[in-house]
Amino acid sequence: MEKPNAPATERNRDAIHEVIAELCSDDQNEFQLFEIGSGTGQHAAYITPQIENLTWHVSDLEPNHEGIKAWTDDIDKVLGPYSFKVGEHNELPVKNVDFVFSANILHIMHWKLAQQMFKVLSQSLESGSLVLFYGPFNYRGEYTSKGNERLDQWLKERFKDGKSTIRDFEEVNLNMSKLGFILQEDREMPANNRMLIFHKL
Ligand SMILES: C[S@@+](CC[C@H](N)C(=O)[O-])C[C@H]1O[C@@H](n2cnc3c(N)ncnc32)[C@H](O)[C@@H]1O
């Protein structure tokens, strides 16, 4: 199969690599990362070969698996793709993961599904695990840039059922904290995106 291309991954992959490499900086340890909504698998394909002590488990809905395989099949430490659909699966298919990473998913899925995902994470992860959400967020109900405002308008036009919209950082933080996570870091990323890093208590 020809490799599908998500051009945004080429713009944000170095910044995402930097965060994940920092989290794996203890080279005496092996780290397991589970990704929700891997899309094309390009983040895994770019980042995993650069971090020796990292294994990356990719997942998405089945129609995306062929594309993910085209990017990752020949990379030893990328495992999967697993079928993992929030709303259908109530636990992560991989146990004892150190990190769950998900990029550009919270503004796509229905808020009820996002809350369901938080619950699955809370039930599946051990104390000390980290959850990393990459993407655009609003703060106190305000866009952080004109670009994010345009993206939100596009989401509302494209998905007229109203399920897709940029989420409020405060809502995500509140829901995660009710489920036993504390915000470890809210890092600025390129193009008005953020990396929210939550720590499971
Ligand atoms: C905007 S894409 C982001 C893909 C990739 N993470 C990236 O940043 O390029 C959103 C992804 O979420 C996946 N997705 C949508 N609904 C989902 C659900 N209920 N459970 C798991 N994944 C879902 C889609 O199939 C899609 O691959």
Q: What is the CATH number of the domain that holds 91?
A: 3.40.50.150
pLDDT of 75-126, one tens digit each? Answer: 999 999 999 999 999 999 999 999 999 999 999 999 999 999 999 999 999 9
Task: Output the pTM of the full model.
Answer: 0.97
With a 6 Å cutoff on the Cβ, whether 39 touches ligand 1 is yes
Give the side-chain half-sphere CA count within 13 A for 99.
25
Q: Does 30 map to a domain?
A: yes
Residue 47's domain comprises: 7-200
2, part of any domain: no
Our count of domains for the chain comes to 1
Average pLDDT of the chain, as a whole number: 96
Report CA 30 to chain centroid distance, whole Å: 20
Q: Does a structural domain hold residue 1?
A: no
**Domain membership flag for residue 100:** yes
- Ligand 1, pocket-test mutation among 60, 86, 92, 106, most atoms within 8 A of CB: 60
135 three-class SS:
strand
